[in-house]
Homo-oligomer: A and B are copies of this chain.
Amino acid sequence: MTLSQFEIQDIDQTVLLWLEEVRKQTLIAMQQQLDVDTKHDVRDLVTNVDRGNEQFINTKIRNFDSNATIVSEEGFGDHQRDMQGNVWFVDPIDGTMNFVKEKDNFAVMIALYIDDQPILGWILDVVNNVVYHGGPQIGVLSNQLRLDPPSDDALSDGIVLLSGARLLYGMFGYDKIAKAALGYRVIGAAGPSFLRVISGHAVGYSSKMMPWDFAAGQVLAKTLGLSVSDIDGRPLDMLSSNIVLVATNRAHRDILTLHKS
């Protein structure tokens, strides 16, 4: 199924309205006592807001798109086995530790892929009230402002963003990448990290991620001509975890070369 540009824009506008509502609910919840639980370990947090946002968004998706299947973080999605049809990805709070502790540097992310093709992605920066959204047919916008592709800087001329835990435990060659870059930063969340690469404030970002962590970022990054792959240069598996690498084309080559060496 191929959608017209008009249909794509209609979907975009619809999801932007959902995100306005999600933003309001999230800000209200931040003024109240959060209900924080742990999942796999003490650092893997989930709150009432993660769950509430996911239920809200997934309900909106199912009412809007009767053919939708949903891949989402907190258990209200489907058990999707392939990328056929309309597959939606939902991360109701990306960066839950930042949400709980920093009250900043977290995001709400949604993406739509149809028959394995990236169609639209949305990354909402709740605190700064900015939504990055778009896809290959309509370009990438920051709220209403159209984004240009970032300049194609090399790793040695830019800041790279890395998963703190993986760097700390010597995984994935992240120490070599950090040393070769002009500088590195640890942000602690995928959405805000993708946004820094998309807006040209960092030349690359790598972390181990689940599909809801990278689905929206991949749509936006590829639309702007950035490279997205796993750390070995292969396309991402949309239905399992990957060691994701998003970067300028030059930094992507620099990092793949370092990773193989």
Task: State the A residues within 8 Å of B (CB).
Answer: 42-43, 97-98, 101-104, 158-159, 164, 167-168, 175, 178-179, 182-188, 196, 201-202
Contact = CB atoms under 8 A, between A and B. Distances in A.
27 contacts: A42-B182, A43-B183, A97-B159, A97-B182, A97-B183, A98-B159, A101-B158, A101-B182, A101-B201, A101-B202, A102-B159, A102-B196, A102-B202, A104-B201, A159-B188, A164-B183, A164-B184, A164-B186, A168-B175, A168-B178, A168-B179, A183-B188, A184-B186, A185-B185, A185-B186, A185-B187, A186-B186
The binding surface of chain A is classed by DSSP as mixed
B188 A188 contact: no
A105 to B, nearest CB: 8
A164 B185 contact: yes
A89 B140 CA distance: 43
Nearest to A157: B101
A177 to B, nearest CB: 10
Q: How many copies of the shown chain assemble into the complex?
A: 2
Contacts of A42: 182
A102 B201 contact: yes
A185 B101 CA distance: 12
Nearest to A196: B102
B178 A164 contact: yes
Ranked 10 nearest A-B pairs via Cβ: A186-B186, A102-B201, A185-B186, A101-B159, A168-B178, A97-B183, A164-B184, A185-B188, A183-B188, A43-B182
Contacts of A175: 168
A43 to B, nearest CB: 6
Nearest to A179: B168
Nearest to A184: B164
Contact of A184 (B103, B168, B196): B168
A205 B178 CA distance: 20
A250 to B, nearest CB: 15
A103 B182 contact: no
A111 to B, nearest CB: 25
A179 B165 CA distance: 8
